[in-house]
């Protein structure tokens, strides 16, 4: 066995994908599935702000796609929102400020539905949390997991819609976040009684470092497939 590092890619069925939005744009992405089993749940990943370097390869999502199909039987669907480019390619269109991206979220969830992927849950990071909160209450979506939510574009009305829906919501908030820290997050998310706000000691907005990557991935798996956490956490070796 070898330690699992940032670059470790575990076995999976990985497929380059495209899908089309309601306004006719082709978005590019990747679907990673367990190599020899059916997935038990599906991560639909919504990346950080593309005007500041966010994309489908942002490190937490890349590591999730590298590890979680094998370690946790999760499907990992990641894609570039409109106008966003990564090694996989560039999605058509232009950055829409979080408004036009509504169609991107709907198209990604629709792709998961059409592929028969089970139990989709939106995993938003930074800007992706805004997309989750504004546009993520879609049929079949089991809930949302928010990583470093800034709550810049999210309104009280958005939070009230989540509260009224009763849809599960979890927010991982870094202790040293640049935009929203745990105490303030608890105040803002008090509007959503079912939201579990988890402060992460020592973490920053970008979750740099293997320790913080493991916190994020362990939390996601504890929500989406807790049976995979033998001994309470994902293995550090493979």
Q: Which tens digits make up the pLDDT trace of 76-111?
A: 999 999 999 999 999 999 999 999 999 999 999 999
**Among the four given CATH numbers 3.40.50.300, 3.40.50.1820, 3.90.1170.50, 1.25.40.10, the one describing domain 13-227:** 3.40.50.1820
What is the tens place of the pLDDT at every residue in 21-58? 999 999 999 999 999 999 999 999 999 999 999 999 99
DSSP character at residue 59: H
Give residue 218's pLDDT.
97
Give residue 133's pLDDT.
98
- The closest of 132, 151, 131 to 191, measured between CA atoms, is 151
Report yes or no: 110 and 140 within 8 Å, Cβ to Cβ: no
> Mean pLDDT for the chain?
97
Give residue 1's pLDDT.
87
Using CA atoms, how far residue 58 sits from 45, 48, 49, in Å, is 10, 8, 10
Nearest-angstrom CA–CA distance, 220 and 229: 11
Mean pLDDT of 175-197: 98
Give residue 230's pLDDT.
83
Mean pLDDT of 111-137: 98
Nearest-angstrom CA–CA distance, 43 and 235: 19
- The closest of 170, 118, 110, 117 to 135, measured between CA atoms, is 110
- The closest of 78, 109, 81 to 93, measured between CA atoms, is 81
- The closest of 56, 45, 74 to 224, measured between CA atoms, is 74
Residue with tokens 């706000």: 197
Give residue 117's pLDDT.
98
Q: Percent of the chain beyond pLDDT 70? A: 100
Nearest-angstrom CA–CA distance, 3 and 34: 20
* Polymer length in residues for the chain: 238
What is the tens place of the pLDDT at every residue in 53-66? 999 999 999 999 99
Using CA atoms, how far residue 52 sits from 98, 122, 126, 127, in Å, is 14, 21, 11, 10
The set of residues, in sequence order, having a beta carbon less than 8 Å from that of 85 and lying 6+ positions away, is 55, 91
Give residue 231's pLDDT.
82
């Amino acid at each position: 066995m070898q330690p699992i590092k940032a670059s470790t890619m575990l076995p999976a069925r990985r497929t380059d994908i495209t899908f089309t939005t309601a306004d006719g744009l082709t978005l590019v992405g990747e679907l990673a599935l367990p190599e020899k089993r059916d997935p038990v749940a599906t991560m639909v990943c919504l990346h950080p702000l593309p005007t500041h370097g966010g994309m489908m390869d942002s490190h937490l999502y890349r590591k999730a796609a590298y590890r979680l199909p094998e370690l946790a039987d999760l499907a990992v669907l990641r894609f570039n929102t409109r106008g966003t480019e990564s090694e996989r390619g560039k999605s058509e269109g232009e950055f829409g400020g979080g408004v036009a991206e509504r169609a991107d979220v709907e198209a990604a969830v629709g792709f998961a539905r059409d592929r028969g992927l089970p139990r989709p849950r939106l995993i938003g990071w930074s800007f992706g949390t805004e997309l989750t909160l504004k546009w993520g209450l879609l049929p079949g979506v089991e809930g949302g997991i928010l990583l470093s939510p800034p709550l810049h574009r999210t309104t009280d009305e958005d939070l009230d819609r989540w509260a009224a829906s009763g849809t599960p919501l979890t927010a991982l908030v870094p202790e040293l976040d640049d935009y929203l820290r745990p105490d303030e997050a608890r105040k803002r998310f008090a509007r959503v009684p079912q939201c579990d706000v988890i402060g992460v000691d020592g973490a920053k907005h970008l979750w740099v470092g293997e320790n913080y990557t493991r916190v994020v991935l362990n939390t996601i798996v504890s929500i989406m497939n807790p049976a995979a956490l033998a001994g309470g956490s994902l293995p550090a070796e493979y």
